[in-house]
Amino acid sequence: MKFTPTQMDGVWLIEPEPRRDERGYFARTYCEEEFTQHDLNTRWVQQNQTMTKNEGSVRGMHWQADPKPEAKLVRCVAGRVLDVLVDVRPDSASFGQWQAIELSAQNMHALYIPHGFAHGFQCLEDSCELFYLMSEFYYGDLARGLRCDDPQVGIVWPLPVRNLSARDTGLPLLQELA
- The pLDDT tens digits of the residues spanning 18-43 come to 999 999 999 999 999 999 999 999 99
Classify residue 126 as left (phi > 0), alpha (psi -120 to 50) or beta. beta
Measure the CA–CA gap between 159 and 58, rounded to whole angstroms. Answer: 10
Active-site residue (options: 38, 115, 132, 139): 132
Active site residue 62: yes
For 83-135, the pLDDT digits (tens) are 999 999 999 999 999 999 999 999 999 999 999 999 999 999 999 999 999 99
Marked catalytic residue, from 25, 62, 112, 115:
62
Secondary structure element (H or E) that encloses residue 168, with its range: helix 166-169
Question: C-alpha angle 135/11/142, rounded to 5°?
Answer: 40
Domain ranges of the chain: 2-176
Q: How far is CA 76 from the centre of its chain?
A: 10
The helix/strand/coil state of 166 is helix
Please check whether the domain covering 2-176 is classified as CATH 3.40.50.970. Answer: no
Active-site residue flag, 38: no
CA–CA distance, 166 with 4 (Å, rounded to integer):
35
